[in-house]
Structure 1
Amino acid sequence: MGQHSLPGNPPVPLQMRTSARARRITLRISSLDGTVTLTRPRGVSERAALDFARDKEAWLRGHLANQEDAVSVGLGVRLPIEGLARRVEAGQGRRVRLDGDRVLVPGPEERVAARLLGFLKTHARSRLAEASDRYSARLGRGYARLTLRDTRSRWGSCTADGGLMYSWRLILAPPEVLEYVAAHEVAHLQEMNHSAAFWALVTQLYGPYQAQRRWLHREGAALHRIRFT
């Protein structure tokens, strides 16, 4: 991946990558850290890709200017956990605890973000495993494994051999959103597509899902702006 930039005040750093799958030049702005990735198909020159970026400079700078600042987790910061804004405060004992609109994190201040991240991943696995077990039982199909990642482009996926993958950041969203994503991915155990039959199956497993899907489209990017490092 090459390092380039658009000149100006300030310059816009670009990460240029070449993709054998790409059919056209694309620009993508990461909602997590604002990184701009310029992707060109194999066979397209760097100059052509940079010309494309220059043509889109006004659009690019506008989106970067409108992007909200990242939130660095630490004592006193409020962040959503299961959809409820909770203030991070120092705790006692050895375990992270949820206490109403607070999350209590014991230990030295410099370890707060790391300890909270570990707690959230464990909490996410528990909630997602419970939901996946419940929906797969309704479907009558088991899944092979469950893994958590910090994916930017999708909230979940299902492999052909029955593996379920979820973003651990779903634990930050309201519980009904996490439940919808679990039902969505479990439905793929039977329907590996997004056909009318698939969406009917999601409705059968979960119920009306449109509000939860809209929430992810509207609010999901903000969850990726929460940083634990």
Structure 2
Amino acid sequence: MPTLPLSPIRTGGKPARNSDHRLEVDGLSFEVLRSDRRKTVQITVERTGELFIVAPSKVADQELVQFVEEKLLWVHTKLADKARLQQRAPVKEFVDGEGFLYLGKSYRLRLIDRQLVDLHLKNGRFCLRRSSVYRGREVFVSWYARRAQQWFERQVAEQANLMGVDVKEVRVQDLGFRWGSFGVDGRVFFHWKAILLPPRIAQYIVVHELAHAHHRDHSAAFWIKVDQHLPDWRSRKAWLAENGIQVEGL
């Protein structure tokens, strides 16, 4: 099963990788990613604090250094923003009124003294059996994983048919910092937290992973494949990079 720099998407939305080398500028270390199809230079700040320069193949290192020096204020501002976002990913409390995401929408929690199951979604509320509060996270993760399994199986079946991909199995589990992964054996994996994302963003993850059945790396050919099936993938990818942190507090 490939890991970065090949198949999975990280929760920070790491850019396509064809790693060239690293540049040190003002005490900051940037990994340089080059592409023959790239027309402009771009700096990417990962939520983990990793820094990337994405550039056309023929741009000299000195030009990249000059570009970074002109953007240093922006880079330091983004690093500070990322640090604040990390601090603002609160751990959920399983109390009345707490909000929990599901397919991009937030639903308030209601504690119920008596119900047959630990948790269900009813009338726009998550209803959690009060006696199960002590293991609230376990209950929610199990509920999310079951819903994610059903949702991603349907999405994969639809998209795989359109993309000409033979998928052997869809599996939902905890993938750490990755949203998804496509295995060389035809199995596709998704993080259970992906079911918290808006459907259009979760769909991007599906298309992204299935595109790896055709191209194992994040080459230009890979992104062309994604573009063929999801022309607005750039906006979805950008949303995931900026907002994915919101689902990490559970």
Aligned sequence identity (%):
23
Contact 1:120 1:171 in 2 (8 A): yes
Distance 1:61 1:187 in 2: 34
Is 1:132–2:156 an aligned residue pair? Answer: yes
Instruction: Summarize the alignment of residues 46-57 of structure 1 with structure 2, pairs less than 5 Å apart.
Output: none
Q: Which residue of 2 aligns with 1:71?
A: 91
> What is the letter of the counterpart of residue 74 of structure 1?
F
Is 1:202–2:223 an aligned residue pair? Answer: no
Residues 119 and 197 of structure 1: is their aligned pair in 2 closer, same or farther, counting only changes over 3 Å? same
Q: Give the stretch that moved more between structures: 178-187 or 82-91.
A: 82-91
> What is the letter of the counterpart of residue 127 of structure 1?
W
Give the C-alpha shift of residue 63 in structure 1.
6.6
> What is the letter of the counterpart of residue 193 of structure 2?
R
State the secondary structure of the residue aligned to 2:109.
strand
Residues 62 and 193 of structure 1: is their aligned pair in 2 closer, same or farther, counting only changes over 3 Å? closer
> What is the letter of the counterpart of residue 68 of structure 1?
R
Is 1:88–2:109 an aligned residue pair? Answer: yes
State the secondary structure of the residue aligned to 1:155.
strand
Match of residue 103, structure 1, among 126, 144, 161? 126
Distance 1:125 1:133 in 2: 12
State the secondary structure of the residue aligned to 1:193.
coil
Q: Which residue of 1 aligns with 2:194?
A: 170
Q: Which residue of 2 aligns with 1:13?
A: none
Q: Give the stretch that moved more between structures: 124-133 or 106-115.
A: 106-115
Distance 2:102 2:81 in 1: 30
Q: Which residue of 1 aligns with 2:44?
A: none
Is 1:192–2:213 an aligned residue pair? Answer: no
Give deviations 1:153-192, integer Å, cap 9, x for gaps.
Answer: 3211112222211111011110111111011101111121
Contact 1:149 1:166 in 2 (8 A): yes
More contact order relative to length (CA 8 Å, sep ≥ 6): 2
Distance 1:196 1:150 in 2: 29
Give unpaired runs (5+ residues) of structure 2: 1-21, 23-28, 30-46, 50-78
Distance 2:231 2:81 in 1: 39
**Which aligned runs of 4 or more in structure 1 are off by greater than 3 angstroms?**
60-66
Distance 1:135 1:148 in 2: 17
Q: Which residue of 1 aligns with 2:17?
A: none
Distance 1:222 1:177 in 2: 13
Is 1:143–2:163 an aligned residue pair? Answer: no
State the secondary structure of the residue aligned to 2:178.
coil
Give deviations 1:127-178, integer Å, cap 9, x for gaps.
Answer: 1111111111112221122222323432111122222111110111101111
Distance 1:161 1:87 in 2: 40
Contact 2:89 2:246 in 1 (8 A): no
Contact 2:118 2:139 in 1 (8 A): no
Residues 97 and 207 of structure 1: is their aligned pair in 2 closer, same or farther, counting only changes over 3 Å? farther
TM-score by length of 2: 0.60
Give the C-alpha shift of residue 203 in structure 1.
2.6
> What is the letter of the counterpart of residue 98 of structure 1?
L
Contact 1:78 1:86 in 2 (8 A): yes
Q: CA RMSD of the aligned region, Å? A: 3.1
